[in-house]
Amino acid sequence: RTEFALKEIMSSGGAEDDIPQAERKTVTDFCYLLDKSKQLFNGLRDLPQYGQKQWQSYFGRTFDVYTKLWKFQQQHRQVLDNRYGLKRWQIGEIASKIGQLYYHYYLRTSETSYLNEAFSFYSAIRQRSYYSQVNKEDRPELVVKKLRYYARFIVVCLLLNKMDVVKDLVKELSDEIEDYTHRFNTEDQVEWNLVLQEVAAFIEADPVMVLNDDNTIVITSNRLSETGAPLLEQGMIVGQLALADALIIGNCNNQVKFSELTIDMFRMLQALEREPMNLASQMNKPGMQESTEKPARRENPHKYLLYKPTFSQLYTFLAASFKELPANSVLLIYLSATGVFPSGRSDSEGPYDFGGVLTNSNRDIINGDALHKRNQSYKEMHCLHPGDLYPFTRKPLFIIVDSSNSVAYKNFTNLFGQPLVCLLSPTAYPKALQDQSQRGSLFTLFLNNPLMAFLFVSGLSSMRRGLWEKCQDYLRKINRDIAQLLTHSRSIDQSFLQFFGDEFLRLLLTRFVFCSATMRMHKIFRETRNYPESYPQLPRDETVENPHLQKHILELASILDVRNVFLENTLDDY
């Protein structure tokens, strides 16, 4: 392929003999690197998606070739322009592939700094207008490359919370799609318009806006910062376990999604990451990062993002995570999915008799439960039952279930004596609360951004930055107090404390208690099914119904002038 391309290039540039040997070699070397890079990039698709070791050397080789290719075209741009006819969109393609490499490296390592690398390459493409000439060529496939670049850039910006850039990109993409469909009259117009609708809904998913004095929206980040988790105070006796691996599973009907990421999955993955550092500050712009370099601090837990996985896919990833879990480490499973309820009455009460959650929707089931009516003993194949997770309780397991049938996981049994906790969402929300399910679950919002969730249940939809920051400070104080309540409790199950040494799990546990206490005090959350639950159960009087914590919640409500939404004397009502 390279030889054919070379002959064509050389002959179009005049007689072959007129071309100096050095320039001929430059073109040959460039063609070789370009071919090699494409070959390696295409091979990435064949790598197993699970398991953390098999893919690393292949990624390293791919990075090396792209580093060489990028530097080579920079050093020999003039020769490549004259002799190869290098077009700007071809440089854009190389930069776009490097951006994709960094994004996929982030997905595999969960190291947020690689998102910054992807962003720097994608930004360079836009700033240097590498794709600007594509529209002049009568080749729809080139325009599709440009549209895909925009979609990928948007995903990276969403993950980095660069919402102002996202809005600009959406506007540009909208114009590009209009131009593309107008010029080529293609069949994929509907698909591209759906992409636009999805990202527009994604941007507007937050139920509360935080505003600057000039009414511009403040971008809030919900990744773990230095001051994020309540510190462990002297005398707190907690376990030394560390969160090493997480499966984030999403299958909620009608929930806002973009690029195989539901809003719940998006919120949870950010709750399990630290604020990104910029690796490229000392590099050339756009910088190539050596794949061997690592940020100098504790890594993020590794994550698998599974959108609508089949049972076999889910079990394969679970088994891979379980197998590779280091000593003294925790596996977290987050399930945001539609509930599957038991069909008919069962005489037994085993781990497969309470239903579970549906991780992959079969059309014939969703469109009217036809199979259930035909066969009462039929069990949904892609339902994950509590019993399905029993084998994995041989190691420390932390489970979060956000579903209309989360309570199925209350019927857990700890067979192996390892630390095990399940945090379970309410199974229903009060009808008086405006239905926000399409914009994400309230329970997951509490775990990701508790102040925003608190404002939403208090009926507030916007807030000034100064007041927001004051409330965030107060919420940090509440979190510190919750941490003390948990560690000083006499009757709490030890599993909670064994997980408490890890910053991410500590923050999730304190936010869970805050969520539960808030809902129990709220005037319209009056049914048991409106409250989160846990396995093992928390001692209520020492945690979620503790008078000291209730006083704090009322004080937070007073700062926001929404005290009337909450019950004053909750203890008298039980």
Closest Cα partner for 36 from 2, 74, 73, 84? 2
Sequence spans of domains, the chain: 13-207, 242-276+299-342+351-361+380-565
Count of C-beta atoms within a 10 Å radius of residue 445: 27
Per-residue pLDDT, averaged over 391-408, amounts to 96
Q: Give the pair of three-digit tokens for residue 459.
A: 């009926």
Closest Cα partner for 295 from 449, 116, 444? 116
Sign for the pseudo-dihedral over CA of 65, 67, 68, 74: positive
Q: What is the pTM (predicted TM-score) of this model? A: 0.89
pLDDT class for 366, splitting at 50, 70, 90? very low
Stronger pLDDT, 240 or 264, i.e. the higher one = 264
Give per-residue pLDDT as tens, 550-566. Answer: 999 999 999 999 999 99
Residue 447, pLDDT > 60, answer yes
Count of C-beta atoms within a 10 Å radius of residue 459: 12
Stronger pLDDT, 138 or 27, i.e. the higher one = 27
- Taking the C-alpha atoms of residue 273 and residue 44, their distance in angstroms, rounded to an integer, is 25
Stronger pLDDT, 432 or 128, i.e. the higher one = 128
Give per-residue pLDDT as tens, 249-288. Answer: 999 888 999 988 999 999 999 999 998 765 443 333 333 4
Per-residue pLDDT, averaged over 478-507, amounts to 93
b/e per residue 53-84 (b: at least 16 CB within 10 A): eebeeebeebbbbbbebbebbeebeebbeebb
pLDDT, position 18: 72
- DSSP alpha helix (H) spans, 44-87: 56-75, 77-79
Query: Considering the chain, what is the average pLDDT of its residues?
Result: 86
pLDDT, position 160: 93
- Taking the C-alpha atoms of residue 164 and residue 272, their distance in angstroms, rounded to an integer, is 24
pLDDT class for 371, splitting at 50, 70, 90? very low
Per-residue pLDDT, averaged over 154-175, amounts to 94
- Taking the C-alpha atoms of residue 179 and residue 47, their distance in angstroms, rounded to an integer, is 36
**Stretch (H or E) spanning 423:** strand 420-424
Query: Nearest 5°: phi and psi at 568?
Result: -80, -45
Query: Nearest 5°: phi and psi at 34?
Result: -65, -45
Give per-residue pLDDT as tens, 278-296. Answer: 544 333 333 344 444 444 4
Beta bridge partners of 337: 251
Per-residue pLDDT, averaged over 57-64, amounts to 91
Domain 242-276+299-342+351-361+380-565 sits in CATH at 3.40.50
Count of C-beta atoms within a 10 Å radius of residue 125: 25
**Residue with token string 């591209």:** 192
Residue 369, pLDDT > 50, answer no
pLDDT class for 355, splitting at 50, 70, 90? confident
Q: Across the chain, which distance is largest between two alpha carbons, in Å? A: 97
By three-state DSSP, how is residue 384 classified?
strand
pLDDT, position 239: 82
pLDDT, position 224: 87
Beta bridge partners of 421: 398
Residue type, 388: D
Residue 3, pLDDT > 70, answer no
Asked whether the beta carbons of 322 and 248 are under 8 A apart, the reply is no
Stronger pLDDT, 573 or 18, i.e. the higher one = 18
Which positions ≥6 away from 467 have C-beta within 8 Å? 559, 560
Termini Cα distance of the chain: 78
Output the 3-class SS for 103-150: HHHHHHHCCCHHHHHHHHHHHHHHHCCCCHHHHHCCCHHHHHHHHHHH
Stronger pLDDT, 447 or 19, i.e. the higher one = 447
pLDDT, position 374: 40
pLDDT class for 51, splitting at 50, 70, 90? confident
Domain 13-207 has CATH 1.10.10: no
pLDDT, position 56: 84
Residue 5, pLDDT > 60, answer no
Q: Give the pair of three-digit tokens for residue 2.
A: 């390279």
For residue 537, what is the DSSP state? P
CA dist 201 → 163, 164, 167, 184, 471 (Å): 13, 15, 12, 27, 27
Residue 211, pLDDT > 70, answer yes
Residue 52, pLDDT > 70, answer no
pLDDT, position 253: 80
